Amino acid sequence: MNLQNYKPLLNLVLLAVLAYILHKIVFYVLNINDSAFHYTLETLYVLFLGLSTIVFIVLLKVRERSFDNVGMSFLLGTSVKMIFCYLILRPLLQVSAQNNTIERKNFFMMFILFLAIETILTIRILNEKQ
């Protein structure tokens, strides 16, 4: 097993941990209590990190077998992840409360953050061929 092949997974975990620390600092500074949220910050980070890890494991396996299909696999994996995230978000969309608005924005920002991380790391994988 070559650890160099799994470097994107290590980068993903490191970026997620850094984002979590910054997120907790922002919540502390803005005095936002996430314990009343439907999904705690830790739960969402574990969920998004788990889904992103699954997408990257699939991408790394596809890269080994057929490098030309990495981009399409990324699009398919991200689409499946989006459907799964929508199913998780549904309870938040059905309740209307002031605290719920912050939680919805938090969920979408985390989704966009992990999508950006995945996209950047996938671009790095695709640029390896050049």
Alpha helices in 66-97 (DSSP H): 70-94
Ranges of the chain with pLDDT below 50: none
**What pLDDT score does 1 carry?**
52
How far is the C-alpha of 117 from the C-alpha of 109, rounded, in Å? Answer: 12
From the list 88, 79, 10, 3, the residue with the least C-alpha distance to 43 is 88
How far is the C-alpha of 98 from the C-alpha of 119, rounded, in Å? Answer: 32
Q: What is the DSSP letter of 95?
A: -
**What pLDDT score does 130 carry?**
57
**What pLDDT score does 46 carry?**
94
How many of the other CB atoms lie within 10 Å of CB of 107?
20
Domain ranges for the chain, please list them.
Answer: 7-31+42-127
